[in-house]
């Protein structure tokens, strides 16, 4: 008796799936049985530069089909509202419905905050944060309509891509860190809004060697044998799990993942609390309470959840 695959009969969209993390995630979802829409705008530059190309998305779709799976390529820009709508419509037209959305598409335009241009800020926010919103908006509408028609919950999974740049800060990436923080807010809001329809939404902070992180991990050599600890293939299984029926109780979560490790990140907790002895605080009272509190901490120390988890970037 053949055991059904975890995602058999389900369909998925993976954005930015022509290379790196997205490619590994698309291949993993297909391996687990999902029919996949492979989305990639196909621009060669990690900063979003160069002519768009169908090549990367088509190549990954070909890989999936060659392995016996179902896949179709989509080369639209998810940061464009109408093209994101068309992406969702393609999945529904090809496979009858949409069950899984993995948002991965992104670009980098790194610069210190005092040097960053408006265009560099807008471009990164547009692709990462607006791109996540656009696809989520149309997938969510699809699931709500299906739920109303069915008279109850339906199957829906969203896996969004945040970053440790949001958790621990990244001095030369104010646009990227802000976008990734916004994605966490979008994820938790979406998780609350769609839970009654049977849909879950979670976010991951992956650490992997891709063209977007080639400079970050340039000093870390790849092993001569065995799987690179920073290979995207370490991240893809978690995406497959979060997309599966087994993860029905996982919702609104943020997870760090890399090299055979998964860490579940808690929501921020209150570190210290001070109450005024008057009707409201005065400057002097705040000075008397807060200045000694921060004086006990090392100079320049900032909140860094990733360091608390032992996940500080190399």
Catalytic residues: 163, 176, 180
Q: Where are the beta strands (DSSP E) in 81-121?
A: 100-102
254-258 and 261-265 beta bridge pairing? antiparallel
d(CA 256, CA 59): 29
Tokens coding 105? 């598409």
Which strands make up the sheet holding 254-258, listed edge to edge? 71-74, 35-39, 11-14, 100-102, 156-161, 199-206, 254-258, 261-265
Cβ partners under 8 Å of residue 115, min gap 6: none
| Cα 220–Cα 222–Cα 224 angle in degrees, nearest 5 | 140
Rg of the chain (C-alpha set) = 21
């Amino acid at each position: 008796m053949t055991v059904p695959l975890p995602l058999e009969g389900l369909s998925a969209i993976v954005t930015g799936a022509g290379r790196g993390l997205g490619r590994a995630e698309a291949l993993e979802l297909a391996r687990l049985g999902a029919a996949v829409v492979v989305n990639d705008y196909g621009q060669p530059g990690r900063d979003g530069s160069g002519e768009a190309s169908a090549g990367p998305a088509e190549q990954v779709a070909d890989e999936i089909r060659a392995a016996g799976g179902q896949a179709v390529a989509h080369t639209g820009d998810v940061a464009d509202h109408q093209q994101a709508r068309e992406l969702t419509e393609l999945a529904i037209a090809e496979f009858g419905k949409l069950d899984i959305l993995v948002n991965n598409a992104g670009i980098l335009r790194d610069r210190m905050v005092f040097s960053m241009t408006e265009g560099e800020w807008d471009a990164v926010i547009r692709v990462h944060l607006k791109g996540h919103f656009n696809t989520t908006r149309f997938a969510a509408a699809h699931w709500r309509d299906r739920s109303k028609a069915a008279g109850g919950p339906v199957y829906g999974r969203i896996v969004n891509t945040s970053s440790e740049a949001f958790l621990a800060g990244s001095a030369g990436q104010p646009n990227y860190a802000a976008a990734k923080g916004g994605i966490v807010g979008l994820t938790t809001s979406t998780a609350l809004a769609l839970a009654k329809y049977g849909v879950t939404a979670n976010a991951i902070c992956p650490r992997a060697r891709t063209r977007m992180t080639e400079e970050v991990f340039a000093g870390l050599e790849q092993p001569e044998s065995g799987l690179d600890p920073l290979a995207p293939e370490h991240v893809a299984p978690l995406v497959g799990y979060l997309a599966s029926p087994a993860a029905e109780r996982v919702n609104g979560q943020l997870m760090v993942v890399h090299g055979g490790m998964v860490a579940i990140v808690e929501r921020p907790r209150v570190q210290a609390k001070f109450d005024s002895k008057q009707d409201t605080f005065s400057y002097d009272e705040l000075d008397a309470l807060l200045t000694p509190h921060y004086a006990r901490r090392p100079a320049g120390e900032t909140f860094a959840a990733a360091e608390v988890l032992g996940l500080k970037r190399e």
